[in-house]
Amino acid sequence: MTQSRRNFIKTASTAIAAAAVIGPAEKILAAQHVFPETVKKSQKKMKLSFRPFNAEMKHVFTIANSSRTSTPIVLTEIEYDGITGYGEAAMPPYLGETQSSAIDFLKKVDLGRFSSPFMIEDIMTYVDSIASNNTAAKAAVDIALHDLVGKLIGQPWWKIWGFDKNRTVSTSFTVGLDTEEIVREKTREASPYNIIKVKLGRDDKTDRMMIETIRSVTDKPICVDANQGWKDKNYALDMIHWLSERNVRMIEQPMSRYMLDETAWITERSPLPIFADEACQRLTDIQGLKGAYSGINIKLMKCTGMREAREMVTVAKALHMKLMIGCMTETSCAISAAAQLISQMEWADLDGNLLISNDCFKGAEICDGKVKLNDLPGIGVVKL
């Protein structure tokens, strides 16, 4: 075979292989051996824009230490070459970020210094270095960037990551602390879901009332989130035994994130798996939790978004820790971004969009109580 013949076969097969995984416009470019990010590179710039949005709660939402009727959000967009990626920062007050702190942060982000949105590693390393904390604001950039890149490639992230779309789990549906009458009403409202999540940790009487009230309506499995509310390890372990006899399946953050030794003592003796939420914010936290918790709850707003969440999956698996994915009260934008990881999870708590009355996106949905991904590129959302 001649050299030119060999080169032709090599070039053609590369173009065909590339065309098999990308969209129609990119197929033409790939056939010409030109990838979209290299076309008129000098003229193309990423443009980040953002605006505040208030997610209105369907019910007053109460956890161990606070109540609220809305959640402040900042919506982001990154536009590049006529394509727009959507992102979101959701900021329940107890996390310390606000719409104004997120907007101040986003004003500092200069995406103009990067020639291509495909450089996610470099871009997010830069975004993370701008200031400490601000994890939700950073996630708002990360999610929009992933949505944009997925759209440019023409594929959803679950597929880019090599995950099975059909491997999924049920999402829990949260019933917040409230009066017996409202708890019964909320439990009935949760009937389309297979697992109920209950926020405990206020006081013994209220905790037991919550479980017994839900049990007066349904026998469905319950996940308990104590939100660091239990103060004594012996009490917490007794409570976990009591809960395990009432078809409770797992416990999230039983004690303060700082009480690592006490939590390890509980985990060693607990009949139920113990998950870290407040104790596990980012990738670097995981190793220190090995042995103290059975697993971690990954949330995009804690860990700066999809790039780091994907890395957390790998690290937790390497440490033989269980995985769950959670959320804040947020729109279908951030929920659908988190759902891209669903196949890797044992538990899911992706009900944030179901708790609000003014969702401005349509994305991953719940079908028979389970998180159902779609085939749309990027994070799989349509703006309403």
> Which residues would be at the binding site for Mg ion (CB under 5 A)?
225, 252, 277
- Give the amino acid at 81: D
Min CB(253)–Mg ion separation in Å: 6
- Give the amino acid at 127: V
Nearer to Mg ion, 298 or 366 (CB): 298
* Cβ–Cβ < 8 Å for 363, 340: no
Min CB(7)–Mg ion separation in Å: 57
Show the 3-state SS of 123-153: HHHHHHHCCCCCHHHHHHHHHHHHHHHHHHH
Q: Of 107, 48, 96, 47, which is closest to residue 72 (Cα–Cα)?
A: 96
Give the DSSP H/E element, type plus range, for residue 224: strand 222-225
Phi/psi at 173 (nearest 5 deg)?
A: -125, 125
Nearer to Mg ion, 142 or 225 (CB): 225
Residue number, nearest CB to Mg ion: 277
Other C-beta atoms within 10 Å of 77: how many?
Answer: 18
Q: Which two tokens stand for residue 255?
A: 């004690």
Min CB(303)–Mg ion separation in Å: 14
Q: Of 162, 153, 158, 159, which is closest to residue 19 (Cα–Cα)?
A: 153
Min CB(254)–Mg ion separation in Å: 11
Q: Which two tokens stand for residue 2?
A: 């001649």
Min CB(225)–Mg ion separation in Å: 4
Min CB(252)–Mg ion separation in Å: 5
Nearer to Mg ion, 123 or 276 (CB): 276
d(CA 282, CA 204): 31
Other C-beta atoms within 10 Å of 253: how many?
Answer: 25
Nearer to Mg ion, 186 or 362 (CB): 186
Q: Which two tokens stand for residue 233?
A: 């390890």
Nearer to Mg ion, 116 or 281 (CB): 281
Nearer to Mg ion, 128 or 277 (CB): 277
Nearer to Mg ion, 262 or 277 (CB): 277
Min CB(257)–Mg ion separation in Å: 11
